[in-house]
Amino acid sequence: MDLIRGSGFRDRPGTDPYRRGSRRGRALVAATVLAGMVVGADTSFGADGSPRTGMAAYAAEAGGGSFDVTGYDITMNYQPDTRTFRGTTVVSATATEALDSFTLDLSGPTVRSVTVDSQAVKSFSRTGEKDLVIVPATPIGRGAGFRVRVEYDGTPGAGWFPTASGGATAFEGSSSAWFPVHEDAHDKAAFHLAATVPDGWSVVSIGRERPVRRDSTTATFDWTEPDVDPADIAVSIDRFTIERSALADGTPVVNAYAPGLQESTEPLADRLPEILEFLSGEFGRYPFRAAGNVFVQVDDDAPATAPQTRPVYLGAGNKQFMTLDAVVHEQTHQWYGVSAAARRPEDDCLAECFAAYATWLWDEAKDGADLDARYREQVNAKKGDADFWKELYRPGEAPGINEYGKGPLALHALRRQVGDKAFYRLIKQWPQEHRGDYVDWPQFEAFAEKVTGQDLTGFFQAWFRGATVPADQYLWPGTLKP
């Protein structure tokens, strides 16, 4: 597969051929973004909206504060013709230290007002690219719960992309483009979105859908998810065809097709129950209470992404890459990457290596693929490619794009090293025992040794921490021996 495709979104080291630009330590790469701070940096506002400068602005910028968000309640009205919106977000949180000021992240729209516990704040300021620094009228004590209400309007920020059919989609990991958020990768919270659009348009997000409310000119779509990292939230707006169904256990399924995409992508979406049944057999119970897919077209280079519960395929019109493998890969992330989430960028193999290998397991189970033969062919083809063999785990540094090539080879070698019984026990127990957790690679190494009862120090050093072709004892374990 040629991973450098056309213009627009492009693969770079550390990006996914299915979900390039993922939030776990990766930069969002795009030809254009709908960005632009309406309010300039280093400008502070009083409760009446008047500008503040000098010491008042400095005080507003001092210290981001420490707090734990428990909920985001978002009301949004989006106008596709002008690509602008109005929004109100209520952020519920608990202070983990005394707060004279605190910071939320929001890029793009103009902030009109901010209150804390229904009281106008002393000031709010926009600094840097997306920092919204808030000074409450009264300091917030440690351990106190508080509610921040932010009203804003204008153009969404970086990571909000127009679609080919006139709609828009927010890139996974770009929540600050459309609502104020605490962008801490370890701060999960309840999510609720009520989004109003003109009649004929639809809004699809994550989680469960509540009934659509309609009047003569508009429709309001309502989505909820009880516990989600803001980096795993996405929203898409288009003239969708929406199909609603349920899995055998009653889990609601929403598949959404932007104009012109249903004919080519519906056969893939129709296989979702089969895919989730297969992945549940490999990795244990599906981790969430809603499922589905969203198919939109930003451009042919746009990636597939895996927000919680409902992957979004941003280049779904490109039939060469909008494949069944892409759906299997993104749905695997619900176990490996979303529910059991990488703690730091260097731990990303815990998401991508496993999602890449899941497509191998699918091919083996559904098409009878000879994975040993595939392994030998790829190893022999890549032996002279130094970049291919770079580390899959290196503290302080995200893996390169080789995690999509070397990664599945390493996991297949691990399977042959420990045997099928131990390997399948390992890949099922890991996401089940770390459901909802943030995990790191050293944890996985220790867990693998515990589950398999084997000393795998040399194997992990050779395949995951090493940057050269593994020695023959690790390159050709078990049935892989030539």
Q: Does the structure show a pLDDT above 80 at 1?
A: no
In a domain, 92, yes or no: yes
In a domain, 9, yes or no: no
Last residue of a domain, one of 332, 366, 391: 332
The CB-side HSE value for 417 (13 A sphere, CA atoms) comes to 25
Indicate whether 87 and 223 sit together in one domain.
yes
Please report, for the domain that includes residue 394, its CATH number: 1.10.390.10
CB 178 within 8 A of CB 87: yes
Q: Does the structure show a pLDDT above 80 at 29?
A: no
In a domain, 374, yes or no: yes
Both tokens of 474, joined, read 């690790």
Note the pLDDT of residue 139: 97
Query: Which percentage of the chain shows pLDDT scores above 90?
Result: 85
pTM of the model: 0.88
Strand 189-198 vs strand 67-79: parallel, antiparallel, or unpaired? parallel
Indicate whether 277 and 358 sit together in one domain.
no
Sole residue written with tokens 């302080």: 396
* Cα–Cα distance measured from residue 30 to residue 357, given in angstroms and rounded to the nearest whole number: 27
Other beta carbons less than 10 A from residue 467's beta carbon: 12
Q: Does the structure show a pLDDT above 80 at 368?
A: yes
Band the pLDDT of 7: cuts 50, 70, 90.
very low
In a domain, 450, yes or no: yes
Please report, for the domain that includes residue 123, its CATH number: 2.60.40.1730
Note the pLDDT of residue 245: 98
Query: Which percentage of the chain shows pLDDT scores above 70?
Result: 86
Last residue of a domain, one of 297, 332, 367: 332
Indicate whether 196 and 215 sit together in one domain.
yes
| 261 alpha-carbon distance from chain centroid | 23
Indicate whether 304 and 447 sit together in one domain.
no
Last residue of a domain, one of 309, 332, 355: 332
Host domain of residue 363: 341-480
In a domain, 201, yes or no: yes
pLDDT tens digits along 235-251: 999 999 999 999 999 99
Q: Which residues contact 191 (CB under 8 A, 6 or more apart)?
A: 71, 72, 74, 206, 207, 223, 224, 225, 226, 228, 233
* Cα–Cα distance measured from residue 123 to residue 129, given in angstroms and rounded to the nearest whole number: 18
Indicate whether 324 and 190 sit together in one domain.
yes
In a domain, 418, yes or no: yes
Indicate whether 249 and 127 sit together in one domain.
yes
* Cα–Cα distance measured from residue 51 to residue 97, given in angstroms and rounded to the nearest whole number: 28
Note the pLDDT of residue 21: 36
pLDDT tens digits along 405-459: 999 999 999 999 999 999 999 999 999 999 999 999 999 999 999 999 999 999 9
Indicate whether 373 and 461 sit together in one domain.
yes
Indicate whether 299 and 417 sit together in one domain.
no
3-state secondary structure the chain: CCCCCCCCCCCCCCCCCCCCCCCCCCCCCCCCCCCCCCCCCCEEEECCCCEECHHHHHHHHCCCCCEEEEEEEEEEEEECCCCEEEEEEEEEEEECCCECCEEEECCCCEEEEEEECCEECCEEEEECCCEEEEECCCCECCCCEEEEEEEEEECCCCCEEECCCCCEEECCCCHHHCCCECCCCCCCEEEEEEEEEECCCEEECCCEEEEEEECCCEEEEEEEEEEECHHHCCCEEECCEEEEEECCCCCEEEEEECCCCHHHHHHHHCCHHHHHHHHHHHHCCCCCCCEEEEECECCCCCCEECCCCCCEECECCCCCCCCHHHHHHHHHCCCECCCEEECCHHHCHHHHHHHHHHHHHHHHHHHCCCHHHHHHHHHHHHCCCCHHHCCCCECCECCCHHHHCHHHHHHHHHHHHHCHHHHHHHHHHHHHHCCCCEECHHHHHHHHHHHHCCCCHHHHHHHHHCCCCCCHHHHCCHHHCC
Both tokens of 1, joined, read 């597969």
Band the pLDDT of 482: cuts 50, 70, 90.
confident
Indicate whether 151 and 61 sit together in one domain.
yes
Per the structure, the count of domains in the chain is 2
Among 105, 198, 117, 191, smallest CA distance to 152 is for 105
Q: Phi and psi at residue 204, in whole multiples of 5°?
A: -125, 130
Note the pLDDT of residue 185: 65
Note the pLDDT of residue 65: 61
Both tokens of 412, joined, read 């297949």
In a domain, 71, yes or no: yes
pLDDT tens digits along 156-206: 999 999 999 999 999 999 999 999 999 876 899 999 999 999 999 999 999
* Cα–Cα distance measured from residue 355 to residue 26, given in angstroms and rounded to the nearest whole number: 17
Indicate whether 362 and 448 sit together in one domain.
yes
Both tokens of 4, joined, read 């450098």
Note the pLDDT of residue 156: 97
Indicate whether 58 and 155 sit together in one domain.
yes
Note the pLDDT of residue 184: 72
In a domain, 38, yes or no: no
Indicate whether 305 and 443 sit together in one domain.
no
CB 398 within 8 A of CB 348: yes
37 exposure class (CB count in 10 Å sphere: 0-12, 13-18, 19+): buried
Among 335, 221, 303, 366, smallest CA distance to 4 is for 303
Q: Which residues contact 239 (CB under 8 A, 6 or more apart)?
A: 165, 166, 167, 200, 201, 202, 258, 259
pLDDT tens digits along 33-77: 322 222 223 333 333 333 333 323 323 333 346 999 999 999 999
